[in-house]
């Protein structure tokens, strides 16, 4: 494990080094169905919007065994300079589900929020939005900091489980 977010008393590892199955990606290992993680930070107004931007394999980077696609060379370079700044919270899985103790729930790549994490740093949060259920709307009705705390605790358990798998 390389990075950690420190909350009041919990250290939450955020990234595993080798096991790419842990992240939200395609069968070929492409993160977020090829959506440009940098573009999310550029395409939001007041932290929220309803449109992700697809990247291209022409502009791709492999980072910690996961391939990321970008919509431009500039976005690729921004990611390469500071990849940890752009990685989605909870491996790209649904933030709302994480806050309720459920892990690895798929997301709608056009339903996202850019908002502070427990340390006040802007993060990309993705949400499930299908069959009449938009979990981003539910998230926005709740207390963001409380939901992040709960989701962080669930993610920490997921990271611990995955770490045990990697070490065996």
| C-beta of residue 97 within 8 angstroms of C-beta of residue 103 | yes
Which of 33, 27, 43, 113 has the alpha carbon at shortest distance from 75?
43
Average pLDDT over residues 145-150: 97
Query: What is the chain's mean pLDDT, rounded?
Result: 84
| C-beta of residue 50 within 8 angstroms of C-beta of residue 44 | no
Angstrom distance (rounded) from CA 168 to CA 153: 23
Number of neighbouring beta carbons within 10 Å of residue 87:
23
Is residue 99 over pLDDT 90? Answer: yes
Residue 37 pLDDT level (bands cut at 50, 70, 90): very high
């Amino acid at each position: 494990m390389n990075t950690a977010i420190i909350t009041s008393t919990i250290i939450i590892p955020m990234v595993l080094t080798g096991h790419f199955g842990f992240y939200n990606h395609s069968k070929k290992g492409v993160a977020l169905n090829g959506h440009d993680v940098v573009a999310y930070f550029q395409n939001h107004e007041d932290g929220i919007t309803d449109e992700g931007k697809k990247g291209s394999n022409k502009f791709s980077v492999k980072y910690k065994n996961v391939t990321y696609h970008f919509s431009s060379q500039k976005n690729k370079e921004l990611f390469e300079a500071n990849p940890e700044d752009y990685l989605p919270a909870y491996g790209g899985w649904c933030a709302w589900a994480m806050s309720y103790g459920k892990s690895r729930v798929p997301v709608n790549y056009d339903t996202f929020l850019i908002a502070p994490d427990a340390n006040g740093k802007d993060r990309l949060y993705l949400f499930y939005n299908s069959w009449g259920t938009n979990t981003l709307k539910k998230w926005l009705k709740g207390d963001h900091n409380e939901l992040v705390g709960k989701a962080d605790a669930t993610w920490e358990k997921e990271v611990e489980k995955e770490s045990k798998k990697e070490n065996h």
